[in-house]
Structure 1
Amino acid sequence: MIKRFILGVFVLTTSTILAQRNSASPYSYFGIGENFEAVTVEQASMGGIGAAIKSNHHLNFTNPAANADLRAATYAIGGSLTFLTIKDNTTSQSGNSTNLRYISLGFPIGQKAGLSVGLQPFSSVGYSLTSEAFDVDENLTEVTQFKGEGGANKIYASFGMYAYKGLSFGVETAFIFGNIENSILNQRAEVALATKQEESFNVRGGQFRLGVQYKTELKNKLQLHTGASFTLATDLSARGNEKMYSLSFSGSGQEIPRDELYNRSLNGDINVPLKSVYGFGIGRENKWYVGINQQFQSALESNSVFIADGQSHKYEDSSKFSIGGYYIPKINSISSYWDRVTYRAGLRFEDTGLMVKTTDNFTAVKDFGINVGLGLPLPRQLSNVNVGFEYGQRGTTSNNLIKENYFNVRLSLSLNDINWFRKTRID
């Protein structure tokens, strides 16, 4: 029964994740949108660590070598609700977005290997901004509206296998695809027609990731975990068109296109550089774990005007530091449900690499998050519901930029079945 349920939900949710709007951040205006860091709700609740951590019934999106530890078929689906407050030096606005973050299926292959497949967002665009200009008498003279939607998704397959006691290797291959649309609408006072610039482009390309993990036993049942993953450099194609035209508005506010000023095709490539993640941790199995991650990536490069024109923004090297862990009071407790709950917490500090032009200088956009979460066991073997909460800040109000305060509520369902590939026998 659970097999049919899992496969049915997997198919139904695939169309949902492709059609959704994943972001409400003004910073998704730049490049191919807000980057989606592929982590499970469990990992996010621990600050995003994952390079070294192992589990036999939880998926790990950071290091494909972790698939070698899977001992139960695992279906994972995760989503989030984001409450966002945006402010500059004078005003503030609030918004929210709800989205599905991943659907994945993992299962063991023998006793020393595992495979997972799934679908995740790769980047997301979702913004709507309005800029108003006034004359010296405070009369409105110009209104400009910026809108964008879309993003890129990733279909992946990840494999991990033990090569030696405690030492596992992994590889992941993925296909990235999506469509992004941006528009700028400008209306000036006492001018009959408005002007609108639209651009739409498709993103396509492949991606490969390699990983390694090692676990060794210390004294007093302690375990030392180390790991690293490397997402290889790749080129994504960006193909689309750009047009500008004049328009008027009907009495109901509907846009009526008039004269087309230009309509041209634009092509380019996005070079996504090598990303490396290193981690280590220490803990006792099914009791507690504390680990850290350090991530590095060189500057994103592009010859496409869609992505970076070097005038409004540019990219530099990015980095992220994460620390977090979990604690389980007593995993096999009979008397107390809350003793079987997994308690998680973590911090992350990120330099996104995005540099936004303000007046005469570029200002770096940084991100910071505090995370806590719970893993709530279900009656079924190993299955659980995971809840995570994050408070974070991105950007700054300095140099006429925008600062975001956000609160994420994350929820995931992890269904496990140790009998996935076993045939039922009738004696």
Structure 2
Amino acid sequence: MIRKILVVFLLITSTTLLAQKTSSSPYSFFGIGDEFSPKTVEQNSMGGIGVAYNHYKYLNFTNPAANAYLRYTTYAFGVLNNDLTIKSNGEKQKSTATSLSYIALGFPIGRNAGFSLGLQPVSSVGYSLVNNSLDNLTGNIQAATFYEGDGGVNRIYGSFGMRIFKDFSVGIEADYRFGSIENSITNQIVNVSLATKYKEDNTIRGGSVTLGTQYQKILKKNLYLNAGATFKLGNDLRVSGNEYLYSLTRGANGGDIPRDTLFSESLSGKYKMPLKSILGVGFGKFDKWYVGLEYENQDAIQVLGTLSNTNAAYRYEDSNSFSLGGYYLPKINSISSYWDRVTYRAGVRFEKTGLSVDGSGTNSNFTTINDFGMSFGLGLPLKQLSNVNLGVEFGKRGTTANNLIQENYVNFRLSLSLSESWFVKRKID
């Protein structure tokens, strides 16, 4: 039955994932957009930890070495709903975006190896902002500037993990990233029939390789200690496209009617992504409780080529994050109480995003954008080995200082993890 669900759902949702608008954040204006960490709903509900964590039926998008511990074929997909409140100069604005987070399949290969593959968004661009210029004497609007963006980057990945010693496993993941992004700035002056619009259309392509290791030591009384590390090797995201400046009029339905092209040039460049390393440790009791701590670090992203001409309002810095989280499962095989078989998850996360923005307009006063979040979740068991996983995250990103924007967000996450035994030779009595 699960195999039939898998085929049908993949056909329906794979196209949706590539076409969706998954962000409404003004910070998606910068670079390749609002970036997503590749984590499952279960991981996000524990503050995002995962480099040291493994489980016999749950997928792990952080460390490919965790595939070595898979014992069941698991199909998983996740959905994200983002409720965003934007603050700037005493004003507030709210928005909501709902999107598919991932489609993935993982299965064991023998007793000491496993493989997973899937499709996930990497980043999303989805903003629409208006800045009005007022007359100093009358206070009337003199001009309006519209900032709009759409698109994003997705990835297809394959991940393999193998246990080479009793307590030690290694893994490798390869992915291919692809997408397109459109950014535009339209300026309309009051009582002037023509507006001017600057637009960039970019196509993004690139691949990456991640290496991972995990160590797990079994202790007394069903306790265990584990540690993990991943290294996402440096890679390039190649960008090609065009930039335009043209005049236009607004149609009756609000659409653009282009008039004269004032400027047109091709764009070519790349985002040079440095090595990203993640280190973590954890301690727990099998199918009872777990707590883990994780640290992630990456040097500043470099922007090369003609793309460098468009990023004067922001720059990249070194990024890092700390995550702490875990779960508690009262009694996995309880008969008397359903809620004793529910997995309770929680975690906290602090991140220096690596993005620094100048809100003064002088290109000299940059402010680092930080992100803090607290998360909670439930793993609701279904029949056999499958689960519905619910998660909620409360967080804050950015600041209102230096004419910038502060985002208060609530992320609701939902995933379905379907597990069963495949490739099992059936016995006939």
By the TM > 0.5 criterion, same fold? yes
Post-superposition CA distance 1:125-147 (Å, at most 9, x none) = 11000100101110110100011
In structure 2, the residue matched to 1:421 is 423
Distance 2:412 2:31 in 1: 26
1:125 aligned to 2:129?
no
In structure 1, the residue matched to 2:378 is 374
In structure 2, the residue matched to 1:395 is 398
Matches within 5 A, 1:24-103: 24-103=24-103
In structure 2, the residue matched to 1:345 is 346
Tell me by how many angstroms 1:14 deviates.
Answer: 1.0
1:365 aligned to 2:369?
yes
Tell me by how many angstroms 1:423 deviates.
Answer: 4.4
Structure 2 residue runs of 5 or longer lacking an equivalent are none
Q: Helix, strand or coil: the match of 1:414? A: strand
Preserved contact between residue 120 and residue 155 of structure 1 (Cα < 8 Å): yes
Query: Sequence identity, in percent?
Result: 54
Distance 1:151 1:310 in 2: 18
Distance 1:329 1:228 in 2: 29
From 405, 409, 413, the equivalent of 2:412 is: 409
1:282 aligned to 2:286?
no
1:411 aligned partner, one-letter code: L
**Residues 7 and 283 of structure 1: is their aligned pair in 2 closer, same or farther, counting only changes over 3 Å?**
same
Preserved contact between residue 31 and residue 306 of structure 1 (Cα < 8 Å): no
Distance 2:39 2:375 in 1: 13
Q: Helix, strand or coil: the match of 2:16? A: helix
Q: Helix, strand or coil: the match of 1:339? A: helix
Q: Helix, strand or coil: the match of 2:341? A: coil
Tell me by how many angstroms 1:424 deviates.
Answer: 4.3
**Residues 40 and 123 of structure 1: is their aligned pair in 2 closer, same or farther, counting only changes over 3 Å?**
same
Preserved contact between residue 32 and residue 307 of structure 1 (Cα < 8 Å): no
Tell me by how many angstroms 1:307 deviates.
Answer: 6.4
Distance 1:293 1:190 in 2: 57
Distance 2:230 2:376 in 1: 25
Distance 1:384 1:242 in 2: 47
Q: Helix, strand or coil: the match of 2:287? A: coil
Tell me by how many angstroms 1:279 deviates.
Answer: 0.4
Relative to structure 2, which stretch is displaced further, 191-200 or 406-415?
A: 191-200
**Residues 70 and 347 of structure 1: is their aligned pair in 2 closer, same or farther, counting only changes over 3 Å?**
same
In structure 2, the residue matched to 1:199 is 200
Q: Helix, strand or coil: the match of 2:340? A: coil
TM superposition score normalised by structure 1? 0.97
1:149 aligned to 2:153?
no
Tell me by how many angstroms 1:308 deviates.
Answer: 7.1
Tell me by how many angstroms 1:189 deviates.
Answer: 1.6
In structure 2, the residue matched to 1:385 is 388
Tell me by how many angstroms 1:13 deviates.
Answer: 1.5
In structure 1, the residue matched to 2:322 is 321
Preserved contact between residue 293 and residue 323 of structure 1 (Cα < 8 Å): yes
1:91 aligned partner, one-letter code: E
Tell me by how many angstroms 1:12 deviates.
Answer: 2.1
Post-superposition CA distance 1:178-211 (Å, at most 9, x none) = 0001111110123221001111111101100000
Count of residues in correspondence between the two structures: 425
Tell me by how many angstroms 1:218 deviates.
Answer: 2.4
Matches within 5 A, 1:215-234: 215-234=216-235
Preserved contact between residue 31 and residue 308 of structure 1 (Cα < 8 Å): no
Distance 2:256 2:22 in 1: 26
**Two-structure CA RMSD over aligned residues (Å):** 1.2
Preserved contact between residue 106 and residue 117 of structure 1 (Cα < 8 Å): yes
Distance 2:345 2:404 in 1: 33
Tell me by how many angstroms 1:10 deviates.
Answer: 2.1
Distance 2:375 2:259 in 1: 51
Distance 1:290 1:399 in 2: 38
Tell me by how many angstroms 1:249 deviates.
Answer: 2.2
Post-superposition CA distance 1:79-110 (Å, at most 9, x none) = 11111000112211000000000000000000
**Residues 307 and 96 of structure 1: is their aligned pair in 2 closer, same or farther, counting only changes over 3 Å?**
farther
Preserved contact between residue 204 and residue 239 of structure 2 (Cα < 8 Å): yes
Relative to structure 2, which stretch is displaced further, 4-13 or 271-280?
A: 4-13
Preserved contact between residue 270 and residue 307 of structure 1 (Cα < 8 Å): no
**Residues 310 and 258 of structure 1: is their aligned pair in 2 closer, same or farther, counting only changes over 3 Å?**
closer
Q: Helix, strand or coil: the match of 2:164? A: strand
Distance 2:256 2:355 in 1: 34
**Residues 347 and 240 of structure 1: is their aligned pair in 2 closer, same or farther, counting only changes over 3 Å?**
same
1:188 aligned partner, one-letter code: I
Distance 1:345 1:294 in 2: 17
Q: Helix, strand or coil: the match of 2:374? A: strand
In structure 1, the residue matched to 2:22 is 22
Distance 1:11 1:426 in 2: 35
Tell me by how many angstroms 1:318 deviates.
Answer: 0.2
Q: Helix, strand or coil: the match of 1:164? A: coil
Preserved contact between residue 270 and residue 307 of structure 2 (Cα < 8 Å): no
1:391 aligned partner, one-letter code: F
Distance 2:61 2:308 in 1: 26
Tell me by how many angstroms 1:310 deviates.
Answer: 4.8
Tell me by how many angstroms 1:262 deviates.
Answer: 1.2
Q: Helix, strand or coil: the match of 1:303? A: strand
Matches within 5 A, 1:102-121: 102-121=102-121
Q: Helix, strand or coil: the match of 1:334? A: coil
Preserved contact between residue 358 and residue 402 of structure 2 (Cα < 8 Å): no
Post-superposition CA distance 1:6-34 (Å, at most 9, x none) = 12212321111111011000000000001
2:13 aligned partner, one-letter code: T
Distance 1:182 1:306 in 2: 13
Q: Helix, strand or coil: the match of 1:65? A: helix
Post-superposition CA distance 1:328-349 (Å, at most 9, x none) = 0000101110000000000000
